[in-house]
Amino acid sequence: MFSSAWIANLVLDLLLIVEGTGMPGVPFQPAFFAVAMFITQGDIAFLPCWIFASLANVLGNVLGYLIGNKLGEPFVLKLKFLRLEPEDIEDLRNLANKYGPWVVVISRWFGPIRTPTILLAGTLGMNLPVYTLFSSMGAFSWNFAWLWATWQGSKLLLTILGANASQNWLIAMLIGWGLAFASLTVVMGAWHRYKNNRDSSEEDVNDNVDNHSEQQAK
């Protein structure tokens, strides 16, 4: 039978596959904390957890790439929960033109552009082998950072609370939920501020063009 530690690791891997497809809002943070607590308690090793989590994430990335490459931009724009506009895709295209496939690595660390990058990488001129290579670079570094940080956090948690071992994973998951909510709030707030500033700049440009046209007409 599988131990609780390996079950927690399996749950984390499944969540990372779904997250890797570009699905926003997947609650992977609590699962990271739960697995990290099992690592701290010596029930499972860091290395296999990191490798399996990263590979699961890459698998999800490839699935997302294939879906987006097959269905294209119209499909992505129809996904209401993404709240994407043509201007957002144009911004992403500009990033891809500037940074090339490195935009895949960059997007791994910034949630709002992660989903459209995954789904539209094929339409941005990246073939699957190139995308998989850079996706792996992003996934392995991102998962290492998350797992290492939650591992250190769980060590600190045990030092402070000294909780019963059977309760540690539950405490870790509750902290993970709190972190998930806080990080989502911060990231989405920054994204909305960016979009509002962009829209305001576009309105100012349009107003200046209109004023210039009116002056020429006079």
Count: domains in the chain: 1
51 Cβ neighbours under 8 A, 6+ residues apart:
none
Could you read off the pLDDT tens digit of each residue along the chain, which spans 218 residues? 567 888 889 999 999 999 998 887 788 888 888 888 889 888 899 999 999 999 999 999 999 999 888 888 888 878 777 777 777 788 888 888 888 889 999 888 877 778 888 888 887 778 899 999 999 999 999 999 999 988 888 787 777 766 554 455 566 556 655 655 555 555 445 545 545 565 555 555 455 545 545 555 55
Longest pairwise C-alpha distance within the chain: 84
Token digits for 41?
Answer: 């308690």
Half-sphere exposure of 23 (CA within 13 A, CB side): 14
21, 151, 176, 208, 213 from 56: Cα distances, Å = 10, 19, 20, 50, 55
Domain that holds residue 13: 4-217
